[in-house]
Amino acid sequence: MREDISFPADDGVTLRGWFYRPDGATGPTPTVVMAHGFSATKEMHLDDFAEVFADAGLSVLVYDNRNLGDSDKPVPGEIDPWQQINDYRAAITWASLRDDVDADRIGIWGSSYSGAHVLVVAAIDRRVKCVVSQVPLISGSENARRLIRSDHFAALRQALDADRVARYQGEKPGMIPVTWEKSPDEQCVLPTADTHDFFFGPIRERAKTWRNEVTLRSVDLFLAYEPGFYLPLISPTPLLLVVAAGDHLTPADIALKAFEQAAEPKKLLLLPGGHFDAYVGDAFKQSSPVQRDWFLTHLT
């Protein structure tokens, strides 16, 4: 059973999403908290994962990040990783206060940008009893240098600095497309062809609230974000890291190298295909049962 829910973040911003309760469940249940990646909304296949987990007897809280989707938008299109980390922790608190949730058996799930966030949350919040991180960002600076041509970096830095001055002087935040729409030559944050194909593909029929723009400040924050630092600090919380072998958006080699830094208990699942293949098709069929069983093993 799925119900629409809303809850306040620590600063009063309202976050909205879904709460899945397993059919036939009685009493408090183990629960998984989920949010999506960079600019993405919950309709972009999070319901597919949540249904797999709920069918196995887990409750699931799925919500849109602030400034995106159905959640409040005090700064539309602003993606602040540390704010989203705090919102994960608020979501855990809200879930733990429900009578039908077992507060001692809460896991977290994230993918891509939120796959980075759950690494941080699992390291700093011991209420988390296990974590699944799918195709995660490991290093904002290293990832950016894979995505952005070196001769474009100076112009990008100038644009970010100019935007900072403009905002300081009271102007509205500058905006930039998430991905290109008509030509790969368009300036955007995520310039890969599979990013374009995902966001402008069939998923748009499901994700009506997605917008192809974020603030320039979101890029500045991305460049300074280093979630891989927290990997050695996650233990003893069990970690499942899911990597797509052909991922060049959050490159597989960076994630595989980072996995070595995590202490036990940990598990690596290597999937075929690229970054967005992890959400659909054979990769989803292979991955979702492993993720489900990870939560069942460590939450039940």
SS3 for 243? strand
Q: What is the pLDDT of residues 25-80, one digit of tens each?
A: 999 999 999 999 999 999 999 999 999 999 999 999 999 999 999 999 999 999 99
Alpha carbon 86 to chain centroid, angstroms? 13
Phi (first) and psi of residue 25, to 5 degrees: -70, 140
Domains identified in the chain and CATH numbers = 2-139+225-299 (3.40.50.1820)
Specify the length of the chain in residues: 300
209 CB contacts (<8 Å, ≥6 apart)? 41, 43, 64, 68, 69, 70
Mean pLDDT of all residues in the chain? 97
Instruction: Using the predicted structure, report yes or no on whether residue 7 has a pLDDT greater than 90.
Output: yes
Q: How far apart (Å, rounded) are the C-alpha atoms in residues 96 and 28? A: 10
Band the pLDDT of 149: cuts 50, 70, 90. Answer: confident
Q: How far apart (Å, rounded) are the C-alpha atoms in residues 107 and 129? A: 5
Q: What is the pLDDT of residues 203-238, one digit of tens each?
A: 999 999 999 999 999 999 999 999 999 999 999 999
